[in-house]
A and B are shown apart, each in its own frame.
Chain A
């Protein structure tokens, strides 16, 4: 019971964090048709910016300004980089974001070093919020839960209840028509790219201290975020949300399950000391996202809720 409750909470929080990262990528991917390989690097930038800002002032200032800063970097990348490369087609764009990811990684190593930085949870939130089954639950995790939920609600409201949101949604599927109606499509693209990066940055700000802030965090998170976008389906934020939740929960539960293959398949005569029998369920956790990716592409190429195939 204890394991289930804690895994559920952690899974939801991890899922929301994944969604925060992938929501921007989904928007960018649907709109421009190009997978932004550098997206997770913006997540890393968010964490590092937050570290530096909170050293200089406080976490709360970082919470506001680090995502804005990341968003600005993103907008500049779109306006002066991607837009120029765009005329040469999708492959050029893909390679551009690929190069950009490595560029950001190297810049981060030069500025902040190769080792993890000491980006800590703010003192104000560094206490156990409640005790369940004799184990303490950190307040910061609940805080990340609320930040993620607030972001989710904000994003939903903007996209579905404001005219700007409607224009963005229309531009996702019919960019030419939206242009003919007099809406500045290049600026919409730049804004969406910027906001998408800012959301990844926000995920970095609240995830960097809860997980680890090191130069590998982008590379580690990148592939998983792609999985969320593809599994959720192109053009569907709801799909990305579902996929992020499923992934978050599956991975967290897999890690928490204390069992080996031999415990499950012992009745087939599998020995706990054999190579196969000694594999733990927890060790399968990192494989889950990619298994999902492969299966979805084979069985349902448009993803859970996507409106078009890749």
Chain B
């Protein structure tokens, strides 16, 4: 049996006194694209944050067999786990190119992508390469954040709500970009609310409710489960 890329067992997390994650279990295999679905406030983003150490995790998180809870964020990143946060966090006072350069973890061992290749892959960014990142549109910022993380050669990327606040046409583009990234063999954990995008690119979906995983299956299986959709996703 192949080892899971990321394995989360009985993950709990708290915001002050409120118990947000109540025993989350999930596995991501190498090369897999997983969509983590659920209504607002059920703990999807918190799961991402707990894995990345932004929120203190209680439970077992292993990446490529190595426990990562309690590590510094840079140590987690250096193991090959990339994170594209919901807040995007581009560096606004730097150019697009400079943002990409900062995605490289170590200049002595640059990753497989060069800045130029990245700009070739994403013509929107090419046109803006020497503009300050702060003036980009929301969609462009999202693309930049994903590309910047790719520059560090991650084996798994956690992408948190990439389409939040974007126009429908852009949402579709972002979906294409994520599919494109997946083709390069990178595993992806996509925290997403929009079913269209999730079902289009995911190999498997997890649905969260009340701080735990309440359903897991392939997109095809999921499409037949109107009950899951009604109980855990529809508003």
Contacts and interface: CB of A to CB of B under 8 A. Distances in A.
Interface in A24-57: none
A182 B78 contact: yes
Nearest to B95: A166
Interface string A183-208: 11110000000000000000000000
Number of chain A interface residues as a range = 10 to 19
A180 B105 CA distance: 10
A116 interface: no
Interface string A297-310: 00000000001000
Interface string A164-182: 0011011001101111111
Contact of B89 (A176, A182, A183): A176
B176 interface: no
B148 A181 contact: yes
B135 interface: no
B152 interface: yes
Contact of B83 (A170, A180, A185, A186): A180
Interface residues of B, number: 26
Given A179-B73, A179-B74, A179-B77, A174 B91 contact: yes
Contacts of B106: 182
A185 B73 CA distance: 9
A302 to B, nearest CB: 15
B217 to A, nearest CB: 30
Interface of B: 52, 54, 72-74, 76-78, 82-83, 85, 89, 91-94, 98, 101-103, 105-107, 148-149, 152
19 contacts: A166-B94, A166-B101, A166-B102, A169-B91, A170-B91, A170-B94, A170-B102, A173-B91, A174-B89, A176-B73, A177-B91, A179-B77, A180-B74, A180-B76, A180-B85, A181-B148, A182-B74, A182-B78, A185-B73
